[in-house]
Amino acid sequence: MLVGRDGEATTTIASSVRAAGNPRLSPDGRSLAVVISGEVWRYELDGRPPIKLTFNGRFFSPLWSPDGQRVITEHSGQNQLEAVPSDGSGGTPQQASPKGHFHPHAWTADGTEIIAAQLEDGGTKTDLVRFPARPDGQVQTIVATPIREGFAGALSPDGRWLAYTSESTGRSEIWVRPFPGPGRAVRLSSNGGTEPIWARNSKELYYIEGGNMMAAAVETGATFDFKPAVRLFESVYSRSDQAPSYDVTPDGRFVMIKSDNAGQRPISVILNWQERLSAQTAH
């Protein structure tokens, strides 16, 4: 669904889909790659019929190539990222990373490298890395510590600032560092945060704090500055097991997924029903 800054849904992009997650908008903001029941589908925001991009797999976290011609995705069990044509022409998925368990976050500004989370030890350790989008690409570390770094991340539209999650305080918080560096990281969130996403105009950085959608006004350029984040709305929308759970259109609306529980009747549990029945019978 397309959702305004007040949290109210304005447009339904797709309905009655099963197990949807990881929505990701194309570079031009007109198309949406989304995982449905483990496969990647392409939807058009103008309402044209969707097309299926992957087959016979379990895929996560699609990422459009900068030219919009390919979709890079994590393929469960393959220990690599794979690329498929975004026009639905099919073919065998092509290896788009060195071997490893990666969650793709973004492309570098020149469109040659992917920024990703690299998971080890069953996901208990996560590092933030970069590598060329090819099988023989060399993995370079961006942030690596004994704790989880960069499980979610996003690069600013100008390619100069990297927002990411770090658990260095004992819980997930949003940090921003110059990319590719050098320079120190700055903590942006104050009460927990995950899934940072930049506004297309670079003037805001969004993230999720608990059940709330947050927005921090930012200034990017030679330096980075920000104002304390404000709550936009309490989210009633679904969260994916791994990023992304939402995206942001060029005009500032949110692409989110809402679970449809229509038709499900609530279950009432009555305690001490025997005593209540006896009391009513006595009258």
Binned average pLDDT, 10 residues per bin, the chain of 283 residues = 94 88 96 95 93 90 96 90 93 92 94 94 86 95 93 95 95 96 93 96 95 95 93 91 93 91 46 56 51
Please state whether 24 falls in left (phi above 0), alpha (psi between -120 and 50) or beta.
beta
Q: Which CATH architecture has domain 2-263?
A: 6 Propeller (2.120)
pLDDT at 264: 40
By C-alpha distance, which of 48, 53, 45 is closest to 72?
A: 53
Strands 254-255 and 2-3 come out as antiparallel
Using the Cα atoms of residue 96, residue 99, residue 103 and residue 107 in order, give the sign of their dihedral. negative
pTM given for the model: 0.88
Report helix, strand or coil for 236: coil
pLDDT at 253: 96
pLDDT at 260: 72
Peptide bond into 182 cis (omega under 30): yes
Residues 6+ apart with CB under 8 A from 239: 208, 245
- The residue with tokens 């092509």 is 94
Strands 140-143 and 149-155 come out as unpaired
- Where are the domains positioned within the chain? 2-263
What residue type is assigned to position 72 of the chain? I
- The residue with tokens 């639905």 is 88
Tokens read off for 50:
């969707």
